[in-house]
Structure 1
């Protein structure tokens, strides 16, 4: 952990210790973990296709993960605005490994530590913020795919309402711990376009300047259009469609990509996912993603993903979840394919709905893949589940059985 991160953590700890009687310190968190066995050898091994940017999660998570968050509002001003601070510590550790501070086996980090001034009257209800923050993250929950994620270390002005629209502008320099170079990134978002009854559109543009210490690096940009439709098809649910295009380091499509890429390196993405909760006991999500990465060196990739999770409540505290997912990557050397299915009877004490804050699952997961997928795993990720040196050897299929806990508060 860097000295900067430690200093930031100490500053935040000092801030949250200054509690005013009228403003309580809020503690929230999230954790997941479990245990499992594979049909190969040893403990559970998870299935992910090389070149795919996500994997379907149910019965396919091989780590302990926790987030612990503290938020303290210090004062409420006369205009109703609030000044406060937020911080989050996280722990990530793969099964059968011991956490370390250098991230080789596990990660103990401070992913969020920022101050804010919310609901400022002079900004028409907008906010100011500065620090390290999860900012405007959009994801497909069944695959944990953050397709539009503008998180970063920086600051900005957010959700300033003008003419019925909400404007946000952020400046940042670093958006992930593994990013080697500091990159000036500017994210501009406009939300609230009413396109049709119950439908709204948001537009986002990112510009990434080239690092001053890298003369051979490049600048880039990305554009995202996202439409959300409430009560889609008359169901109690939300349908989301996103269109994205980026070039150069903008091929991160919202986050900071490789600044060695030039304007000839282009990525396109289109996705659609639908969340529904038709009745208190009948819910789920389906998702489809298509991405094309065009590279002048010939390393073009085309990733297609299609999957869904269906959840049915047997009673007020028990439900049954089924998830089916398929990923396909067209790449030099052949077309890779991976399919997996999971069956999971689940105890859900806070209700049987699709998105429940507490779940304890028994699961069985079966996956099958082709030879091209195995060869890609051998080359890029030896000893992983799909590789010939992994738990399943030369087989092109495998399964896991286990127990998993998912809880937020």
Structure 2
């Protein structure tokens, strides 16, 4: 993500009795668009009930903007001290009656202060506030294998030689004040296991924080403790591309979630980027409330001429509930895009897309939201739209 840097010469009183320059940087992300479905009305997006993600190209029914503002306020003994603020606005195209143009979700997604490159912390960072934290993402379906967003504080990326180590205390900002959960995410990254590959390990215990409500004289129901372990290995230059393969096991009380996943990215010739993702996840819950999810898909992104590109994505999901019939859904998207560059990641980009999804009868019976409203009597659906996306 490219930063646009502005230098503001502002006098800061109290810093060793002299003026200190404040360095402001600005970055962000935005996507927005419009679309229709073949039966009329706005675009429909397709996700199989019970699947953790959906294949996102031509399949996002929302607007979002996340501008980031970072102010470098001071330097001290080689360290730098900052404040980071990210307001955000989100609007999703929900079921009838919920997709009015002014029903926007606004929030401070991130607002925290930090000191970076602190020698006493092995070159690491100390921080406190609300932030996106521990995000490990699979690109083309925007899935977070690890995610501990919330309110908290921690020490991050201490270089201990064998690995960079981070420890934090995180709480969920959306839970009530007297019935919350905390997590203690610990990660070790950059562990050199192969000549062209590194290992990352994430360990996250969690538990309930609760207190009795003295007004209503009620005590929140007890929640079980949790523990999660994620292990991820990168392989660079294998089969002409880069890989990440991982395993994660997450247990909270009697609920268990185990997954294996692999992502592969490469270039074909001089013009085409290829990304492939395969994943298998088992959700084990008491009383036959779990399911098994299998997902595999790929996207190609080919430069044509000038700013123009052609993209194609195909993804298949299968969900097998502990009770009931197996659900299947396959989604295809073809898109013509204009982008500010020849590379697949060139932004800004504007895409004209056609998305078609097909599903079996078991999936049809589990449809919800706009998909159920428009295509609840069918086993296929099609949408056409235009979307803009950029980061900077």
Check whether the contact 2:66–2:86 (CA below 8 A) recurs between aligned residues.
yes
**Unaligned regions of 5+ residues in structure 2, if any?**
1-9, 13-18, 212-219
State how many pairs are aligned.
363
Question: 1: CA distance between counterparts of 2:269 and 2:82?
Answer: 38
Aligned position for 2:374: 391
Question: 2: CA distance between counterparts of 1:269 and 1:372?
Answer: 23
Matched ranges for 1:327-406 at <5 A: 327-331=317-321, 332-349=323-340, 351-377=341-367, 381=368, 383-385=369-371, 387=372, 390-406=373-389
- 3-state SS in 1 of match to 2:363: helix
TM-superposed deviation, 1:21: 5.8
Aligned position for 2:250: 246
Distance 1:178 1:367, change over 3 A: farther
Question: 2: CA distance between counterparts of 1:39 and 1:273?
Answer: 33
Question: 1: CA distance between counterparts of 2:268 and 2:176?
Answer: 42
Check whether the contact 1:322–1:342 (CA below 8 A) recurs between aligned residues.
yes
- 3-state SS in 2 of match to 1:391: helix
1:297 aligns with 2:287: yes
Structure with greater helix percent: 1
Question: 2: CA distance between counterparts of 1:210 and 1:189?
Answer: 21
Greater Cα shift, 361-370 or 24-33 = 24-33
Offset from partner CA, 1:72-95 (integer Å, 9 cap, x none): 0001113x2100110101111124
Matched ranges for 1:66-77 at <5 A: 66-77=65-76
Aligned position for 2:183: 185
Q: TM-score, normalised by structure 2?
A: 0.88
Offset from partner CA, 1:184-212 (integer Å, 9 cap, x none): 21011112221111111011111112233
Question: 1: CA distance between counterparts of 2:176 and 2:101?
Answer: 21
Check whether the contact 1:99–1:108 (CA below 8 A) recurs between aligned residues.
no
Aligned position for 2:30: 31
Aligned position for 2:100: 98
Question: 1: CA distance between counterparts of 2:11 and 2:35?
Answer: 44
Offset from partner CA, 1:251-303 (integer Å, 9 cap, x none): xxxxxxxxxxx2x2211011101122355522121101111011121112101
Q: What is the CA RMSD across the aligned residues, in angstroms?
A: 1.9
Distance 1:110 1:203, change over 3 A: same
Distance 1:130 1:345, change over 3 A: same
**Unaligned regions of 5+ residues in structure 1, if any?**
1-16, 249-261
TM-superposed deviation, 1:99: 5.9
Question: 2: CA distance between counterparts of 1:146 and 1:267?
Answer: 15
Check whether the contact 1:211–1:217 (CA below 8 A) recurs between aligned residues.
no
Question: 1: CA distance between counterparts of 2:170 and 2:317?
Answer: 33
Q: TM-score, normalised by structure 1?
A: 0.84
Q: Which runs of 4+ in 1 moved over 6 A?
A: 17-20
Structure with greater strand percent: 2
1:310 aligns with 2:296: no
Distance 1:320 1:404, change over 3 A: same
TM-superposed deviation, 1:140: 1.4
Aligned position for 1:408: 391
Distance 1:393 1:295, change over 3 A: closer
Question: 2: CA distance between counterparts of 1:18 and 1:49?
Answer: 56
Distance 1:92 1:99, change over 3 A: farther
Matched ranges for 1:2-401 at <5 A: 22-78=21-77, 80-95=78-93, 97-98=99-100, 105-174=103-172, 177=174, 181-213=179-211, 214-233=220-239, 235=240, 237-248=241-252, 262=253, 264-278=254-268, 281-331=271-321, 332-349=323-340, 351-377=341-367, 381=368, 383-385=369-371, 387=372, 390-401=373-384
